[in-house]
A = this chain, B = another copy of it.
Amino acid sequence: MSPKITTELLRQLRQVMKSSKYVTEPIQAYIVPSGDAHQSEYIAPCDCRRAFISGFDGSAGTAIITEQKAAMWTDGRYFLQAAQQIDSNWTLMKMGLKDTPTQEDWLVSVLPEGSKVGVDPFIIPADQWKRMSKALKSAGHVLVPVKENLIDAIWMDRPQRPCKPLITLDLSYTGIGWKEKIAALRAKMVERKVLWLVVTALDEVSWLFNLRGSDVEYNPVFFAYAVIGTDTIRLFISGDRMADPSTREHLLLDSSLEAEFKIQVVPYESVLTELQAICVGLSPKEKVWLSDKASYALTEAIPKAHRYLTPCTPICIAKAVKNAAEIEGMRRAHVPKGSVTEISAADKAEEFRSQQNDFVDLSFATISSTGPNGAIIHYKPVPETNRALSGNEIYLLDSGAQYKDGTTDVTRTMHFGTPSAYEKECFTYVLKGHIAVSAAVFPNGTKGHLLDSFARSALWDCGLDYLHGTGHGVGCFLNVHEGPCGISYKTFADEPLEAGMIVSDEPGYYEDESFGIRIENVVLVIPAKTKYNFSNRGSLTFEPLTLVPIQTKMINVPLLTQKECDWVNDYHRKCREVIGAELKSQGRHEALQWLLRETEPITKMH
């Protein structure tokens, strides 16, 4: 991977930062956040502004460009990748390390007195705006909204915003119709005494209307906003997508139905002006509900007295707790793809996956890395770095897919020759962490961050660790990363775990320039039966939905406790039962033989 040469681009950007065509007064710094106007984690090519200006294309990172300097903040998953992708114009800011300044502190340390710092108000979430603005203000600077995006101003071949056809999902997939979802939402609005709810997250719009799209690669969503009133529904969406008869029928656009379920289709671009118009008509105590992570532009459109901000919208929470149809779908989605570990390259995995029923797309870019590339946590193979798989190096495959019935995400780490004792030792610690989370029993209402250390304890004992969270929420034929629950040392926006939520369990260990190990299952939160029941609270645990063998050759069995051995054997028995039956019925005898070999029980010697 060679870095992108950005000298000329930075020169152009610094020019528009001073140009009266774009800014009323020159700005001394410009912030380029990672997301789009919907604060999506994964974004369409037209929104990859930070990658355009810097070359760094990981899923998380913020660039700040001043008159003299350019700096890039990213987290532990991307330290190696970012270092390889940015050129010497840039300083890499490794978030989470002790000596790394925050964006605010860095700005204060480098800016001349009384500076103006610009940012696109549609791209920056309101909570980040607030924090940044406050910090700058107290140091004598000011954060200003710059309406026209300055990266777009210098991006000559910027792609069009995608506008792909929609997929309608019927009740067998969604379990609940969209009218019912809107009715439930309105009940929540009444409870909180709000008149309006603005839906800005793309997966929330998709979930609410039981629609899917493909505007963002791997994420089955489409560009849209929704504004729900007590008896109106506005859907902000572009192009002629509403011309499609099946979509019209699904949304009952041409049916005579109760007025409060009549959807008004409004152009995507008009969301700001429509929201402003709604706010003009509000009586003193009437409130508009919005996520505090929505864009500063939309948040500012609602006068402060009318704003009702929460970290999660009610849709976000409803979506996280899967209903029976969704859980059933997630189970189905995980079944017939048990054989991916048999093959040895990402495109082959995709080929296999795409032969399955209901396959739509991958759920993220497959991470297929061998040896030292494995230490780049979110590595994606490209021709320049492509390494041949060999019998001498660890191979890590992290892949997932979108099916109409669910979303998958699985990582396995394998060795096709003889792993070293050290590789086995590290793999075993990671496995112990994986099991510690997967088998954990914890009270109803526990937040995910309280489970994170279970995944690290075995690594910590030996002085090892990994610089990423342990798990993320997983959508149901929606984003493979979704809030509001997760398992991480970070405590930000962490909603309590409840039965029906689905998260990943993916501890790892990465040795720079040497290898990467990760073991990831998607797991369902289920009620646990316990001997006692303190305060009548009830307990929870996890059930793995992913059923793919864990390579026993990599395990240093004596390092496992008997309980951990039993867990591995129970898990492999379940793989045999469920996946084995499927392979048998598909007549895939070779695959079945492989499965049986890979799921042989392990035994602790005494």
**A84 in the interface, Cβ–Cβ < 8 Å?**
no
**A384 in the interface, Cβ–Cβ < 8 Å?**
no
- Chain B neighbourhood of A457, CB < 8 A: 440, 454
Q: Which of A33-41, A42-50, A444-452 contacts B (4 or more CB under 8 A)?
A: A444-452
In contact, A462 and B140 (Cβ under 8 angstroms): no
In contact, A530 and B450 (Cβ under 8 angstroms): no
Complex formed: what's the CA distance from A379 to B464 in Å? 42
CB distance from A80 to the nearest CB of B (A): 13
- Chain B neighbourhood of A90, CB < 8 A: none
**A133 in the interface, Cβ–Cβ < 8 Å?**
no
In contact, B454 and A539 (Cβ under 8 angstroms): no
In contact, B462 and A530 (Cβ under 8 angstroms): yes
Which chain A residues numbered 522 to 541 have a C-beta less than 8 Å away from chain B? 528, 530-535, 537, 539
In contact, B534 and A465 (Cβ under 8 angstroms): yes
**A268 in the interface, Cβ–Cβ < 8 Å?**
no
In contact, B463 and A442 (Cβ under 8 angstroms): no
Identify which of B440, B445, B530, B539 contacts A98 (C-beta below 8 A).
Answer: B445
Complex formed: what's the CA distance from A237 to B489 in Å? 43
Select from chain B the residue with minimum beta-carbon distance to A461: B441
In contact, A443 and B462 (Cβ under 8 angstroms): no
In contact, A463 and B98 (Cβ under 8 angstroms): no
Select from chain B the residue with minimum beta-carbon distance to A139: B285
Select from chain B the residue with minimum beta-carbon distance to A528: B463
CB distance from A203 to the nearest CB of B (A): 27
Select from chain B the residue with minimum beta-carbon distance to A452: B450
**A416 in the interface, Cβ–Cβ < 8 Å?**
no
**A491 in the interface, Cβ–Cβ < 8 Å?**
yes
CB distance from A115 to the nearest CB of B (A): 15
Which chain A residues numbered 450 to 498 have a C-beta less than 8 Å away from chain B? 450-454, 456-457, 459-465, 467, 489, 491
In contact, B489 and A450 (Cβ under 8 angstroms): yes
CB distance from A210 to the nearest CB of B (A): 30
In contact, A463 and B534 (Cβ under 8 angstroms): yes
Tally of A interface residues using CB under 8 Å: 39
Complex formed: what's the CA distance from A91 to B465 in Å? 47
Complex formed: what's the CA distance from A460 to B443 in Å? 7
In contact, B532 and A464 (Cβ under 8 angstroms): yes
Identify which of B445, B449, B460, B464 contacts A440 (C-beta below 8 A).
Answer: B460
Complex formed: what's the CA distance from A441 to B443 in Å? 25
Complex formed: what's the CA distance from A534 to B461 in Å? 11
In contact, B460 and A539 (Cβ under 8 angstroms): yes
Complex formed: what's the CA distance from A433 to B344 in Å? 43
Complex formed: what's the CA distance from A465 to B532 in Å? 10
Which chain A residues numbered 140 to 162 have a C-beta less than 8 Å away from chain B? 140
- Chain B neighbourhood of A464, CB < 8 A: 532, 534
Identify which of B462, B531, B537 contacts A532 (C-beta below 8 A).
Answer: B462
In contact, A462 and B531 (Cβ under 8 angstroms): yes
Given contacts A445-B98, A457-B440, A491-B491, contact A532 B463 (CB under 8 A): yes
Complex formed: what's the CA distance from A251 to B528 in Å? 62
Select from chain B the residue with minimum beta-carbon distance to A426: B532
Of the listed residues A443, A460, A528, the one surrounded by the most CB atoms of chain B closer than 10 A to its CB is: A460
Select from chain B the residue with minimum beta-carbon distance to A529: B463
- Chain B neighbourhood of A535, CB < 8 A: 465, 467
Given contacts A98-B445, A457-B440, A457-B454, contact A463 B533 (CB under 8 A): yes
- Chain B neighbourhood of A305, CB < 8 A: 138
Complex formed: what's the CA distance from A447 to B451 in Å? 14
Complex formed: what's the CA distance from A305 to B138 in Å? 7
Identify which of B98, B285, B454, B532 contacts A140 (C-beta below 8 A).
Answer: B285
What is A's interface to B at a CB cutoff of 8 Å? 98, 138, 140, 285, 305, 440-443, 445, 447, 449-454, 456-457, 459-465, 467, 489, 491, 528, 530-535, 537, 539, 561
Knowing that A441-B463, A451-B453 are A-B contacts, what are 18 other residue pairs whose CB atoms are under 8 Å apart, sorted by A's residue number?
A: A138-B305, A140-B285, A441-B460, A442-B453, A443-B460, A449-B491, A450-B453, A453-B453, A453-B454, A462-B530, A462-B532, A463-B531, A463-B532, A463-B539, A464-B532, A464-B534, A465-B535, A491-B491
A-B CB contact pairs (8 Å), 18 listed = A98-B445, A140-B285, A442-B456, A442-B460, A443-B465, A450-B452, A450-B489, A453-B453, A453-B454, A454-B457, A459-B534, A462-B530, A463-B533, A463-B539, A464-B534, A465-B535, A465-B537, A467-B535
